[in-house]
Amino acid sequence: MSTDIDKFVVPWVRAAAPYSDRHMEFAWSHPEVLRMMSNENPIPPSPAVLEAIQQAAQLGNLYPDSGPALRQRLGEMAGFGKENVILGNGSTDIIDIIITTFAAPGDEVLIPVPTFSMYEARAKIRGAVPVFVPLRPDFSWDVDAILAAITPKTKLLFLCSPNNPTGIQIPLDDLKRILSAGIPTVVDEAYYELENEPRTLAYLIREYPNLIISRTFSKAYGLAGLRVGYAIADAKVVDYMMRVRIPWNVSLLALAAAQAALDDEASFLEKRRTIIEGRQYLCDEINKIPGLRAFPSEGNFVLIDASSLGKTSEQIRDELIERKVFIRPMSPHHMGQGFVRVTVGTPEQNEFFLQVLRAYVEEVRKGK
């Protein structure tokens, strides 16, 4: 007997496009291509982190807890307590928990764009309606437009600071204006440890209990493959989110790795220095290439306007892949054709990328 399974699937899942991780599948299956497409940290976990993972693996027959020790530590680092912190299987899990907590099918989620695509993807899969508010031409937030977009159906607002892919921070006054509207507002601080002068906005939670801070161990700490994220919020907000969280969502290995990464300050500082110096070098050198523009960044990536080449973003990606470098096209993410993003690598990786980019641009110019 055949069954038309489609009719049993909830409408918003049936209508949603699956998140494509083809770029990741390609990267893993082509190790000869330099992966500078996903804002990964170029430095592997330190020996101390690897040892902690190995020790935790010996208890792999046991379920983990909710990470109370790590939650307490992260809370204290931000000036709060354990009750103000929830852990996730990466910050993507945190994003999903937040959306599930606040947005029912048909509710609206405000998303200034361009930004991290996962806000849109997870909102759609939960049946919520993404409402996009374009950034200004200089990539600053259009606060008036954001406030004007709020309706009775608006249940959530996402802001990324520093923003991926534009690399800039939201001004404090702009954020306060937005928070004053009372809408639950997520500030994704995935990259804040990599700012030239790190500036967290978590302290505002005491004044604005509708503020939720999202963070990750994937970027500055280099644990993307271990999947550890967390949120800092008012205790009542965390209580609701804990009801949504899937039990045991962070593994014993991930909990141990996160604690060890926090302990290993020398490794953290090395990673931070490598990225800060590398992104400045990339910006400076890219801006020397005629027709290209690299935007200042506070993250571990650099946004490039290569529209003068007359190529689509996807063409630039594909033609650089042929030259053994994988970067990310930004036109599928609310940006114009010719915009691409490159992840900051090690000094050697950055130099290789620049050599490839210079030669590529010269070839394109000659071919016109």
- Residue 41 token pair: 């940290």
CATH number, domain containing residue 319: 3.90.1150.10
Does 114 share its domain with 186? yes
Here the CATH number for the domain that contains residue 206 is 3.40.640.10
Q: Are residues 122 and 66 in the same domain?
A: yes
Nearest to 96 by CA among 41, 156, 146: 156
Same-domain check for residues 270 and 163: no
Strands 85-88, 229-233: pairing kind: antiparallel
| Same domain, yes or no: 198 and 124 | yes
Q: Answer yes or no: is pLDDT of 307 > 70.
A: yes
- Does residue 76 share a domain with residue 18? no
What's the whole-model pTM score? 0.95
What percent of the chain clears pLDDT 90, i.e. is strictly above it? 90
- Cβ(191)–Cβ(299) below 8 Å: yes
Q: Give the C-alpha separation, 169 to 159, whole Å.
A: 10
What is the domain range of residue 68? 47-263
Residue 17 pLDDT class (50, 70, 90 cuts) = confident
Residues 226 and 341 in one domain: no
Range from 31-35, 261-265, 317-321 carrying the lowest mean pLDDT: 31-35
Local confidence band at 20 (pLDDT 50, 70, 90 cut-offs): confident
What tens digit of pLDDT does each residue of 48-106 get?
Answer: 999 999 999 999 999 999 999 999 999 999 999 999 999 999 999 999 999 999 999 99
Domain final position from 246, 263, 280: 263
Q: Are 210 and 238 in contact (CB under 8 A)?
A: no
List 326's β-bridge partners, or say none.
35
Q: Same structural domain for residues 92 and 53?
A: yes
Same domain for 34 and 88, yes or no, is no
The confidence score (pLDDT) of residue 366 equals: 86
Q: Is residue 15 domain-shared with residue 77, that is, in the same domain?
A: no
With a cut of 60, say whether residue 1 has pLDDT above it.
no
DSSP label of 291? T
> Is the domain of 84 the same as that of 164?
yes
Q: Of 263, 286, 315, which marks where a domain is finished?
A: 263
In whole numbers, what is the pLDDT of the chain averaged over residues? 96
- In residues, how long is the chain? 368
Question: Is the per-residue pLDDT at 305 higher than 90?
Answer: yes
Domain boundary among 232, 263, 294: 263
Q: Are strands 301-305 and 293-294 parallel, antiparallel or unpaired?
A: antiparallel
3-state secondary structure 308-367: HHCCCHHHHHHHHHCCCEECEECHHHCCCCCEEEEECCCHHHHHHHHHHHHHHHHHHHHH
How many domains, the chain? 2
pLDDT, residue 47, reads 98
What is the Cα–Cα distance from 270 to 292, expressed in whole angstroms?
A: 30
What residues have CB less than 8 Å from 109, skipping those under 6 apart? 99, 103, 119, 123, 128, 129, 130, 131, 154, 155, 156, 157, 158
Amino acid, single-letter form, for residue 14: R
Per-residue pLDDT band at 30 (split at 50, 70, 90): confident
Query: In this model, does residue 2 exceed pLDDT 80?
Result: no
> Do residues 359 and 223 share a domain?
no
**What is the distance between the alpha carbons of residues 75 and 66, in angstroms, rounded to a whole number?**
14
- pLDDT of 355 strictly over 60: yes
pLDDT digits (tens, 9 = 90+) for 312-349: 999 999 999 999 999 999 999 999 999 999 999 999 99
Give the percent of the chain with pLDDT over 70.
99
Q: Which of 8-12, 161-165, 173-177, 249-253 has the lowest mean pLDDT?
A: 8-12
pLDDT at residue 29, as a whole number? 79
**So what's the pLDDT on residue 368?**
60
pLDDT at position 24 is 80
- Same domain membership, residue 279 and residue 224: no
Q: Is 229 exposed, middle or buried (0-12, 13-18, 19+ CB in 10 A)?
A: buried
